[in-house]
Amino acid sequence: MNVVSLLRKTETMGAREFRYNLDKMLRNPPRPCRIMLHNKPALVVLSDDDFLQIIEVMEELKNEGVLERVTKNLKMEHKKRPTWFWNKTWQKKEKRADTELKSGKVHHARSAKDLIKQLKS
């Protein structure tokens, strides 16, 4: 079994269920599981053997230079496409929106009908 298939086969459980079974899960995890917080994976609980297998694979990837190549490619992609939020034109629009909020130019609609009335007027 490779690492990817191991992580794909993990059972997903919510944070509440994990809290109820915390002591038992951390002492002897019966199966790999992903813990979700706010619908996003927060952590994975693995047995010692599974964890060691993942560490071995990561060391192999590091020794072969795969991780460095991936990191280098990601940095190059990031330089090609700057993050949209931090570019100058977007920041100007953010400042403009903030000033309009402060000056009271923003209208709130309580329903779709109210919104349509405000747009027509």
**In the chain, pLDDT over 90 holds for what percent of residues?**
1
111 falls within a domain? no
72 falls within a domain? yes
Tell me the residue range of the domain where 70 lies: 3-79
Please, which pLDDT band fits residue 111 given cuts at 50, 70 and 90? confident
* Tens digit of each residue's pLDDT (9 = 90 or more) over 1-40: 565 665 566 666 677 777 777 777 667 766 677 777 777 7
* Tens digit of each residue's pLDDT (9 = 90 or more) over 30-47: 667 777 777 776 777 777
CA distance 61 to 58: 5
- CATH number of the domain that residue 21 is part of: 3.40.1620.10
Residue 74 has a pLDDT of 81
Please check whether residue 44 is in contact with residue 34, taking contact to mean a CB–CB distance below 8 angstroms: yes
> pTM to 2 decimals?
0.37
Q: What is the mean pLDDT of residues 80-102?
A: 80
Structure tokens at 102: 């402060």
Residue 83 has a pLDDT of 66
Q: What's the number of domains the chain is made of?
A: 1
39 falls within a domain? yes
Q: Helix crossing, 48-63 with 66-80: angle to 10°? A: 70
Beta strands in the chain (DSSP E): 11-14, 33-37, 40-45
Cβ atoms within 10 Å of 10's Cβ, excluding its own: 17
Please, which pLDDT band fits residue 94 given cuts at 50, 70 and 90? confident
Please, which pLDDT band fits residue 73 given cuts at 50, 70 and 90? confident
